[in-house]
Amino acid sequence: MQLSLVETSIYVQPHSPVEFAISADATPIRVTIEWDAIQRMMGPASEDAGQVREFLQRHRTEIGNVIRARIAAHGVPITHQLTMSWDDLRLAGNLQPAPDAVPASPPAG
């Protein structure tokens, strides 16, 4: 499957899901990454939109592999929109939580 990122389509606004457009075998798809996942991967650096864009560019192969796996497993969504959570992204080997990342939920106790 051939994936292409539309370079100018990365929309980043801190505390909102990150959105970008891709083409999967010439089929346009809007991809959304939940903000919680961005915070888990980047920690406090997620507050800077430029750093988020750079992070996405640097990890485009890993993110692309997750997208390919989702499409292979479920097909292209009818809505042509794909939302990815931390549970989706953590399956990629190089996308680990930042050491100073905000935990998903506070520890019990």
Parent domain of 45: 3-89
Q: Give yes or no for a contact between 10 and 56, defined as CB atoms under 8 angstroms apart.
A: yes
Burial 27-60 (b: 16+ CB within 10 A, else e): eebbbbbbbebbbbbbeebbeeeeebbebbeebe
Number of structural domains found in the chain: 1
Q: What is the mean pLDDT of residues 71-80?
A: 90
* pLDDT top residue among 105 and 101: 101
**8 falls in which pLDDT band (50, 70, 90)?**
low
Q: Which amino acid is at 67?
A: I
* pLDDT top residue among 104 and 54: 54
**Residue 9 confidence (pLDDT) above 60:** yes
**Residue 109 confidence (pLDDT) above 80:** no
User: Is residue 97, in this structure, part of any structural domain at all?
Assistant: no
Task: List the one residue out of 79, 93, 74, 103 whose CA is nearest residue 31.
Answer: 79
User: Is residue 13, in this structure, part of any structural domain at all?
Assistant: yes
Query: Given this model, what pLDDT does residue 31 score?
Result: 93
